[in-house]
Amino acid sequence: MKAVFFLMFSLGGVLADSKVESVRKVRLPLPVELTRADIYTVPTISHPCAILVLCPGVNHDGKPLLTPAWSAYAVKNQLGLAALSFASNLEDLANEKGYYQPSRGSGQALLEGLHTIYGQDLPILLYGMSGGAHFIAGFLEWKPERVISWCAYTAAWWSKPSKAATNPPGIVACGDEDTRYGASLGYFLQGRAIGKPWTWVSLPRIGHQSSPALDDFVRVYFSAILHPEKHRPEWRDVDLKSLINDKEVKSHPTLASWLPDRVTAEKWMIIHQP
């Protein structure tokens, strides 16, 4: 059995007096291996182009993730906004079952729930920490064609990524004082070894906890992904942060970090401290 660290963290700091009005809870039929299957959402715009789904830590309630900052971001970028509130028995999660494995029911529950809320099948952006990162990694293996971009922030273990016809760009991140650092970096390296357009973010002086700085970076990254016609991607050396060309990327893929544009790359060079 894999070692499991059951710390209950969520994305982003939430001030005690920060509230988002009109939070709606959608209770879904329980898939096998889930003990709770709810989605929280807030109104943003009437006709979103995609849905941003925030994924909290293990068995956590996602409602606190729906902060004014994320709500304003969703409105600005024409997005729907939702947060997971999924749970499974801890023993199942430790044994490749439960909601960490979207192919076993939790992924379909999410898709059907979002369809119920928005009335159509829209592309998805995913951002999650810890247990949420597990769910995102599994979703990428199950339905990568539904994902525009993603950020998976720190997990205790990761399944080896596989080659796929669709490879949405995304971020693997971890704090350099987090015991999950080696596992998270290893997952990034495995993805880059098979050519996936992934970005590695090493956060300085932080353990297994939320990171407002990463929240801000993810917003910039996702914005660039949502408007590719305005941006020119580039590759950076994960250690030196210097620009590298396509030939260097091909010869040393695991040393390369993909960035959607120069503005995002400049912000990455600040937040990323290998």
Same domain flag for 106 and 161: no
Q: What's the whole-number mean pLDDT along residues 217-223?
A: 98
Could you give the CA distance from residue 246 to residue 17 in angstroms, rounded to a whole number? Answer: 48
Same domain flag for 103 and 181: no
In a domain, 136, yes or no: no
Domain termination residue (choose one: 122, 139, 174): 122
Total count of residues recorded for the chain: 274
pTM of the model: 0.91
Give the tens place of pLDDT for each residue, 227-259: 988 789 999 999 999 999 999 999 999 999 999
Give the tens place of pLDDT for each residue, 186-211: 999 999 999 999 999 999 999 999 99
Same domain flag for 188 and 114: no
Same domain flag for 228 and 114: no
Give the pair of three-digit tokens for residue 134.
């597990």
Looking at per-residue pLDDT, the higher value among 238 and 10 belongs to: 238
Domain termination residue (choose one: 122, 138, 169): 122
Question: Mean of the per-residue pLDDT values for the chain?
Answer: 92
Same domain flag for 61 and 156: no
Give the pair of three-digit tokens for residue 210.
């939320």
Q: What's the whole-number mean pLDDT along residues 115-139?
A: 97
Could you give the CA distance from residue 220 to residue 240 in angstroms, rounded to a whole number? Answer: 22
Residue 185 carries which DSSP code?
Answer: H
Residue found under tokens 């023993």: 91
Same domain flag for 98 and 174: no
pLDDT of residue 21: 61
9 pLDDT band (50/70/90 cuts)?
very low
Looking at per-residue pLDDT, the higher value among 14 and 160 belongs to: 160
Angle (deg, nearest 10), helices 262-271 and 212-226: 160
The 10 Å CB-count burial string (b at 16+, else e) for 218-252 is bbbbbbbbbeeeebebbbbbbeeeeebeeeebeee
pLDDT of residue 231: 80
pLDDT of residue 166: 95
In a domain, 144, yes or no: no
Domain termination residue (choose one: 122, 142, 166): 122
Through-space distance between the first and last CA atoms of the chain, rounded to whole angstroms: 31
In a domain, 6, yes or no: no
Same domain flag for 211 and 274: yes
Could you give the CA distance from residue 274 to residue 271 in angstroms, rounded to a whole number? Answer: 10
Total of domains in the chain = 2
Same domain flag for 185 and 97: no
Give the tens place of pLDDT for each residue, 67-121: 999 999 999 999 999 999 999 999 999 999 999 999 999 999 999 999 999 999 9
Looking at per-residue pLDDT, the higher value among 258 and 9 belongs to: 258
Could you give the CA distance from residue 238 to residue 257 in angstroms, rounded to a whole number? Answer: 6
In a domain, 219, yes or no: yes
User: What contacts 186, CB < 8 A, 6 or more positions away?
Assistant: 158
Same domain flag for 70 and 156: no
69 lies in which domain range? Answer: 21-122
In a domain, 14, yes or no: no
Q: How far is CA 86 from the centre of its chain?
A: 15
In a domain, 139, yes or no: no
Is residue 7 over pLDDT 90? no
Same domain flag for 106 and 31: yes
Same domain flag for 34 and 79: yes
Element (H, E) at 259: strand 256-259
Is residue 167 over pLDDT 80? yes
